[in-house]
Structure 1
Amino acid sequence: MIDMESGDTKSFRDSVNKAEVDAAYGVYEDIRGSEVDSAAQRSLLWKIDLRLMPLICITYMLQSIDKTTLGYAAVFGVRDDAHLSGTEYSWLGALFYLGYLAWEYPTGLLLQKLPIAKFMSITVILWGIVLMCHAAASDFAGLATARTFLGVFEASINPGTMLLFSRWYRRIEQPLRIGIWVLAGIASFGIGHIGGALPSWRYIFLIWGAITTLWGIVILFFLPDSPVKAKFLSEDERKAAIDRIKENETGIENKHWKKDQFIEAMLDVKTWLLFVFAVTSNAPNGGLTNFQSLIIKGMGFSTLETTLIQMPSGAVQFFVCTGATYFASRYPNARLVVMLICLIPFLAGTIGTWLVPQSVPYGRLVCLWISFSYTATWTLSMSVATANTAGHTKKVATNAMLLIGYCLGNFVGPFFFVTKQAPRYELGVGMMFFCIGIQVLSIGGLWVLLWRRNVSRRKLNATNDRSAGYELGFQDVTDKANKYFEYVY
């Protein structure tokens, strides 16, 4: 066993079961004590960024487009052509998240067992094929089946990307890059104007499905799994890439599912605070993204004006998310503070949406636009999860719980926006007030929890020698078991 108090890990190294430690443990043993100069570190980071960021950003862009194609198809007649009635259209939106939710933990296990980049690329190809299958659907049953399987195959992207960030980037570098990744979720409107023998909505599914399938083939060959075997790096660069993330103390990967780590994840208060935050962060998102156009149209604007007026909300998300993730990467332990700050304009916008009368439509619009600042808090919550969870099975379980919360929030959110309450949607606004309060409590709870854990470890971390903690990180030890692990918040 490891003597945490004395920092003696020698006996553990001598008897370690190589199958149980991190995949990079052997490399770390070889490079222990080596130093890489700052210029070489910057050059390596730039090389990693150039390879990794375009691939994962374009993938996320396609995911964002593909899961919203139903909304574009609705504008161009899918409801009439598929004979949708009653709440069937709403259920098509919800079924995506049900498929996502049902497959989230199984996909996490597969991400642990299989090469992560290869598994992600195969799911991208499959969801592209499923998206094209939407064009063949002629009724609710066909579309419902396609939407459910679309959610299943898209379920790998968020947890897979979170694992990739933890493998390639230092904790201080992760928030900004997660922010850039989220900002890549750009949708397109132009394809809906294509004319031809088929209805326009069928072209939307066929074209974006084909593009996604081809892109899946691209990332199959070019997306790297981990620094251990990355072919685009030289041997020395691979070693340097592993050395630079040792301070995360979260390792890179371990293919063995560990029951004790799963139980620890389920019993860790941190996991449940993140889960509650995910639900309450995404319930407003599910409502606003689905009903923003109806709220705007209810202010008296035309269909064309409504389409154009939605654009500023995207601009708010872009600037707030960019600024928030930059400051969280620039200043240590700024994540939770920035999350709280980003809730202020969300609260102000929600209050304005409630209080500003219908006779002042542009005032209500401004309130609606600034409400979308909540995007930054969800983005940073993913960086909190990746930076503060060690042990690969525990990472998989924690990420799964965070994203299950994401699914539940997006699933239930639209049901609070009752059609007969248009255009004020009193129940929906009340839900957002409630969610803001719970988010504040969740963030505060995380702050206290992580701070107290660091205080309890202050004696061990007082020394400048962090090598014991680094080694435990590469031994696939969890954040709670590794008493040298320092939480960031």
Structure 2
Amino acid sequence: MSSKPGSPTPSIREKEDSVQTEDVHKVPLYNPDCDVSGVDERKLLRKIDWRLIPWLSLLYLLSFLDRTSIGNARLYHMQDDLHINDQQYLLSLTIFFFSYAVFEVPSNVFLKRLRPSIWLSLLMLLWGIMMTVQGLVHNYGGLLGMRWMLGVMEAGLFPGVNYYLSCWYKRSEFGIRAALFFSAATVSGAFGGLLAAAISNMDGIGGKPAWAWIFIIEGLATVVVGFFSFYVIQDFPDTAKFLNEAERTVVIRRLQGDDQFSAAGEKLRWKYIFQSLLDWKTWVGMVVYTGCDMPLYAFSLFLPSIINQLGFKATPANLLTVPVYAFACMITCLVGYLADRFGHRGYFSLCFLTIGAAGYIILIASRNAALSYFAVYMATCGIYPVVPNTIAWVSNNVEGSYKRSVTLAMVISFGNINGAVSSNVYRARDAPWYPLGHGLVLMYIGFGLVSTTVMLFFLKRENRRRERGDRDEVIGEGVEDEIKAKKNGKYATISDAKRDKGDSWSGYRYTL
């Protein structure tokens, strides 16, 4: 019989009970002298939600809006004004993903070393400036340079915030928060179409075309929000200023009770970095995430063009993206809630990837505009809810704050580097039905289905091994079992084993 993720096996619980009278074997209580009797945990959780989620979602809305608004701007003669051909336009999309992917891992390490309120706010100010300058370029070289710099500055936000949220919530609470945060991407898609249609009325003001004003207005909005972020973004739980000492203590204790042993703090050691690099879950997770992330960028960058080529002009095409993104937002939040409540994140991903695959099969086969537009809704099911669900799944199965930060950054960066592929598969000569683009997206969804199945198989196998006691460590100075000690390690206390082994500890259960 499988146990609930994060709960100890009977053998481990028996060990803890058998030594509960011996201080050396007890797991230390964080801040033991603090009185937490007056803290209402449910009210505390709501307080944290309101201080973190809305503002972070706004940041990601602006981030996704800034990186994808080039798809909206293209409909307002950007290519003609900059004298660039279709291939050059695709390269300007591609270069963003290379810089975006390269800087994600180091950015997450900096986020852990520095204060989130400083690091995330600084990144936002800088990418807002890059976005604004993008509206001032006059040629292909200028556009290329600004897209590269935009990728550098935006790189730290998405992996950084997901890691940051994982430091605040239990594993069974993280999915819906990740979904709410990510749903800002769907809102940005809907908002981006409306905003582009509105800003297009500024065409000619100050001698600037409509597409330039899209970049300038959105960039200036990002700069303003970035400035206020210095005062709004909170730091990690043990130093958060909006909580009192008792509330901080409760947050950390509940995380440690959820097998997040490093919640009280962890010093940077190269050992934790190498643990991430050598963990099979990191590498399989990279492929799992690629199966939904490449389709995400292909979908968001080219949806206006796809609808445009189905017979709708620039502004109607942008407006018709709004209900698609509204549906994506609803399904994303629903899946996040259900996966938190019932677990089985991997099975949810398999289900919705299958629906998305069916949508792309229809897009490939259809030559009817109405049917293709309906298939777009199905396609969103295999993309938007799966992205935050995958992030939550990977985060749930990695313990150690530095290890988790590196693992999440590697998974997300590998998915984003494949965004470079999505930038080049919807070629103008394939319009209006884009069989190559839809076919390659379907192939990536297939990668997601296969790798998710592989991840589920190995996680289930490892949980069974731990339930049998195959991974049990030797605990206590007086216990002699050289074979088991050599295989699984020997520790003075269970607490030492937890801190040293992270999610490899025998009592840790992986989330399926």
Q: Same fold (TM over 0.5)?
A: yes
Q: Which residue of 2 aligns with 1:279?
A: 290
Moved more, 288-297 or 140-149: 288-297
The equivalent of 1:412 in structure 2 is 421
State how far apart, in whole Å, the 2-side matches of 1:9 and 1:129 are: 59
Q: Residues of 2 paired with 1:77 and 1:300: CA distance?
A: 17
* Partner residue, 2:121: 121
Question: What corresponds to 1:346 in structure 2?
Answer: 356
1:192 aligns with 2:200: yes
CA distance in 2: counterparts of 1:433 and 1:84, whole angstroms? 29
**Which letter maps to 1:408?**
I
**Residue 342 of structure 1 aligns to which amino acid in structure 2?**
F
Match of 1:369 among 341, 359, 377: 377
Residues 1:439 and 1:54: Cα distance change in structure 2 (over 3 Å): same
Alignment deviations for residues 20-76 of structure 1 (CA, whole Å, 9 cap, x no partner): xxxxx98715269x8768x80101001101111111111111111111232233233
* Counterpart-to-counterpart distance in 1, 2:443 and 2:399: 32
Separation (CA, whole Å) in 1 of partners of 2:493 and 2:386 = 29
Cα deviations by residue, 1:136-159 (Å, 9 ceiling, x for unpaired): 322122221111111111111112
Q: CA deviation at 1:471?
A: 4.5
- In 2, the alpha carbon distance for the partners of 1:27 and 1:63 equals 40
Question: Per-residue deviation at 1:314?
Answer: 0.9
Query: Identity percentage over the alignment?
Result: 25
2:218 counterpart of 1:208: yes
Among 312, 333, 343, which residue is 1:322 paired with? 333
The answer to whether the 8 Å contact 1:128/1:212 transfers is yes
Does residue 252 in structure 1 map to residue 260 in structure 2? no
Name the counterpart of 1:30: 32
Letter in 2 for 1:320: I
Deviation at 1:270, TM superposition (A): 0.9
Indicate the residue corresponding to 1:71 in structure 2: 71
**Selected match of 2:430 from 421, 427, 442:** 421
CA distance in 2, matches of 1:54, 1:128: 19
Give yes or no for contact 2:24–2:493 (8 Å, CA) kept in 1: no
Alignment CA distance shift 1:403-1:472 (3 Å)? farther
Q: Which residue of 1 aligns with 2:403?
A: 394
CA-to-partner distance for each residue in 1:56-106, whole Å, 9 max, x for gaps? 111111111111232233233432332323422211111211110121122
Aligned to 1:488: 511
> Residue 135 and residue 296 in structure 1: after superposition, are their counterparts in 2 closer, same or farther (change >3 A)?
closer
Structure 1 counterpart of 2:313, which letter?
S
Which residue, 476, 479, 489 being the options, matches 2:503? Answer: 479
- After superposition, the C-alpha distances for 1:296-347 in whole angstroms (9 at most, x for unaligned) are 333333334322332232133122212111101111x221111111123212
Which segments of 5 or more consecutive residues in structure 2 lack a partner in the other structure?
Answer: 1-10, 473-491
How far apart, in 2, do the equivalents of 1:476 and 1:254 lie?
Answer: 14
* Residue in 2 that maps onto 1:174: 174
In structure 2, the residue matched to 1:438 is: 447
In 1, distance between residues paired with 2:131 and 2:304? 24
Matched position secondary structure for 1:168: coil
Give the 3-state SS of the residue equivalent to 2:463 in structure 1: helix
> Could you say what secondary structure the match of 2:236 adopts?
coil
Query: Aligned equivalents of 1:207 and 1:258: distance in 2?
Result: 43
Match of 2:234 among 224, 233, 236: 224
Work out the CA distance in 2 between the residues paired with 1:470 and 1:315. Answer: 48
Distance 1:26 1:60, change over 3 A: farther
**Structure 1 residues 406-440: Cα deviation after superposition (integer angstroms, max 9, x where no partner):** 21221112323333332232222322332222211
Q: Is this contact kept in 1: 2:288–2:452, CA < 8 A?
A: yes
Q: Distance in 2 between matches of 1:127 and 1:253?
A: 32
Distance 2:212 2:264 in 1: 41
AA of the residue aligned to 1:282: D
Matches within 5 A, 1:77-156: 77-156=77-156
Count matched residues: 466
CA distance in 2, matches of 1:36, 1:328: 31
Q: Describe the shift of the 1:118–1:471 C-alpha distance in structure 2 as closer, same or farther (beyond 3 A).
A: farther
Name the CA shift for 1:139/1:166 in 2 (closer, same or farther; >3 Å).
same
| Aligned residues of 2:397 and 2:511 also touching (Cα < 8 A) | yes
SS of structure 2 residue aligned to 1:184: helix
Give distance in 1, aligned partners of 2:494 and 2:234: 23
SS in 1 for 2:350: helix
> In structure 2, do the counterparts of structure 1 residues 469 and 266 end up closer, same or farther at CA, with 3 Å as the change threshold?
farther
Q: CA 1:165–1:401 in 2, change beyond 3 Å: closer, same or farther?
A: same
Q: Which residue of 2 aligns with 1:308?
A: 319
Give yes or no for the alignment of 1:297 onto 2:297: no
Match among 257, 273, 276 for residue 262 of structure 1: 273
Q: Deviations over 1:252-278 (max 9, x none)?
A: 375643322222222222111110122
Partners of 1:280 and 1:409 within 8 A in 2: no
SS at match of 1:372: helix
Inter-partner Cα distance in structure 2 for 1:344 and 1:395: 28
- Take 1:234 and 1:300, find their aligned partners in 2: how far apart are those partners? 58
Structure 1 unmatched ranges of 5 or more: 16-24, 463-467
